[in-house]
Structure 1
Amino acid sequence: MAGPAHLQGIGFGYRPRAAHACDPARSRGRLHAEPESPTRTPFQRDRDRIIHSTAFRRLKHKTQVFIAHEGDHYRTRLTHSIEVAQIARALARALCCDEDLAEAVALVHDFGHTPFGHTGEEALNEKMAPWGGFDHNAQSLRVVTRLERRYAEFDGLNLTWETLEGLVKHNGPLTDAAGNGLKGPVPRAILDYAARHDLELSRFASLEAQCAAIADDIAYDAHDVDDGLRAGLITLDMLAEVALPGRILRAVAERYPGLDPVRTGHELMRRQITLMVEDVIDTARANLDALRPRSVEDVRDAGRTLVTFSAAMAAEEKALKDFLYANLYRHPEVVAVRRRADRVVRELFDAYFADPRRMPESWRAGLDRAEERIRARRVADFLAGMTDTYALKEHARLFDRTPELR
Structure 2
Amino acid sequence: MDPTELYDEAARERLVVEPPKRVDAPVRAPFERDRARVVHAASSRRLAAKTQVVGPQSDDFVRNRLTHSLEVAQVARDLSRALGSQPDIAETAALAHDLGHPPFGHNGERALAAVAEPCGGFEGNAQTLRLLTRLEAKTVDAEGRSAGLNLTRATLDACTKYPWERAAAGPDARKFGVYADERAVFTWLRDQTPGRRLCLEAQVMDLADDVAYSVHDVEDGVVAGRLDLTDVDRPAVWETLRHWYLPDARDDDLDDVLDGLRAVGTWPTAPYDGSRRHLAALKNLTSDLIGRFCGDVQAATFAAGAGPFVRHDADLVLPERTVLEIAVLKGLAAHYVMQAADRVAALEHQRELLTELVAALLGRGPDALDRPFADDWHDAPDDAARLRVVVDQVASLTDASAVARHARMVS
State TM-score, norm by structure 1: 0.82
The structure 1 residue matched to 2:393, chosen from 382, 391, 402, is 382
Q: 1:255–1:354: structure 2 CA closer, same or farther, 3 Å change rule?
A: closer
Q: Does 1:283 find its partner at 2:300?
A: yes
Q: Which amino acid aligns with 2:151?
A: L
The structure 1 residue matched to 2:69, chosen from 73, 78, 81, is 81
Query: What is the distance in 2 between the residues matched to 1:283 and 1:36?
Result: 42
1:173-252 equivalences in 2 (<5 Å): 173-174=163-164, 180-182=168-170, 183-184=172-173, 187-195=179-187, 197-199=189-191, 200=193, 202-239=195-232, 246-252=259-265
Aligned residue for 1:107, secondary structure, equals helix
Q: Does 1:102 find its partner at 2:90?
A: yes
Contact 2:102 2:395 (C-alpha < 8 Å) held by counterparts: yes
Q: 1:223–1:309: structure 2 CA closer, same or farther, 3 Å change rule?
A: same
Aligned residue for 2:397, secondary structure, equals coil
Q: Does 1:113 find its partner at 2:89?
A: no
- Aligned-residue sequence identity (percent) comes to 33
Q: Does 1:53 find its partner at 2:41?
A: yes
Q: Which residue of 2 aligns with 1:131?
A: 119
1:1-400 equivalences in 2 (<5 Å): 15-16=2-3, 22-23=6-7, 27-35=11-19, 39-151=27-139, 154-168=146-160, 170=161, 173-174=163-164, 180-182=168-170, 183-184=172-173, 187-195=179-187, 197-199=189-191, 200=193, 202-239=195-232, 246-252=259-265, 261-289=278-306, 296-299=311-314, 306-356=315-365, 357-365=367-375, 367=377, 370-400=381-411
Q: Deviations over 1:276-315 (max 9, x none)?
A: 11111111112234xx56974433xxxxxx2232111212
Q: Which residue of 2 aligns with 1:9?
A: none
Could you tell me how far 1:189 is from its partner in structure 2? 3.7
Deviates more, 1:329-338 or 1:242-251: 242-251
Q: Which amino acid aligns with 2:348?
A: R
Deviates more, 1:187-196 or 1:87-96: 187-196
Task: Give the CA RMSD over aligned residues.
Answer: 3.0
Contact 2:230 2:268 (C-alpha < 8 Å) held by counterparts: no
Could you tell me how far 1:353 is from its partner in structure 2? 1.2
State TM-score, norm by structure 2: 0.81
Deviates more, 1:94-103 or 1:259-268: 259-268
Contact 1:252 1:264 (C-alpha < 8 Å) held by counterparts: no
Q: 1:197–1:284: structure 2 CA closer, same or farther, 3 Å change rule?
A: closer
Q: Which amino acid aligns with 1:174?
A: W
Contact 2:50 2:105 (C-alpha < 8 Å) held by counterparts: yes
Deviates more, 1:257-266 or 1:114-123: 257-266
Q: 1:140–1:105: structure 2 CA closer, same or farther, 3 Å change rule?
A: same
Query: What is the distance in 2 between the residues matched to 1:210 and 1:251?
Result: 26
Could you tell me how far 1:323 is from its partner in structure 2? 3.0
Deviates more, 1:364-373 or 1:261-270: 364-373
Could you tell me how far 1:213 is from its partner in structure 2? 1.1
Could you tell me how far 1:223 is from its partner in structure 2? 0.5
Could you tell me how far 1:180 is from its partner in structure 2? 4.2
Q: 1:326–1:398: structure 2 CA closer, same or farther, 3 Å change rule?
A: same
Contact 1:22 1:296 (C-alpha < 8 Å) held by counterparts: no
Aligned residue for 1:281, secondary structure, equals helix
Deviates more, 1:272-281 or 1:144-153: 144-153
Q: 1:293–1:229: structure 2 CA closer, same or farther, 3 Å change rule?
A: same
Count of residues in correspondence between the two structures = 372
Q: Which amino acid aligns with 2:212?
A: A
Q: 1:156–1:253: structure 2 CA closer, same or farther, 3 Å change rule?
A: closer
Could you tell me how far 1:23 is from its partner in structure 2? 2.0
Could you tell me how far 1:174 is from its partner in structure 2? 3.1
Deviates more, 1:74-83 or 1:195-204: 195-204
